[in-house]
Amino acid sequence: MPNTSSAKKKLRADARKTVINKRIKEKIRNTYKKFISSPSLESLSQVYSSLDIAVKKRVLSKQKADRKKSQVSKEVKLPKLKQTKRPTKSKSSKAKTA
């Protein structure tokens, strides 16, 4: 048990950070499982996004996230992935006048 008030505060802060870190790591696991069960470009980008968020929040190091991204991309060959159609934006036909 912590004796000083600063040690008690540190204990409370660590408990809060542990909950947040577990939530971020759980999201990484869930998106990875979703990608493995049904690989698609959309689920691959979700895995990448969750890893990038973990790096931003300092839950994972950048190097570890890069290794995970590499492993994920090697697990499924990219040509096999299903490509979801996105609505395309039409370009305006106006020409710029100088």
> How confident is the model at residue 95, as a pLDDT?
64
pLDDT mean over 2-11: 95
63 assigned to some structural domain: yes
> How confident is the model at residue 50, as a pLDDT?
97
> How confident is the model at residue 74, as a pLDDT?
87
39 assigned to some structural domain: yes
For 17-62, write each residue's pLDDT tens digit. Answer: 999 999 999 999 999 999 999 888 899 999 999 999 999 999 999 9
Number of domains in the chain: 1
> How confident is the model at residue 28, as a pLDDT?
97
Q: Can you spell out the DSSP letters for 22-80?
A: HHHHHHHHHHHHHHHHS-BHHHHHHHHHHHHHHHHTTSS-HHHHHHHHHHHHHHS-GGG
31 assigned to some structural domain: yes
23 assigned to some structural domain: yes
Q: How far apart are CA 92 and CA 84, in angstroms?
A: 25
Q: What is the mean pLDDT of the chain?
A: 88
50 assigned to some structural domain: yes
Report pTM.
Answer: 0.70
27 assigned to some structural domain: yes
User: Per-residue confidence at 75, pLDDT binned at 50, 70, 90?
Assistant: confident
Give the residue numbers spanning the domain of 20: 11-73
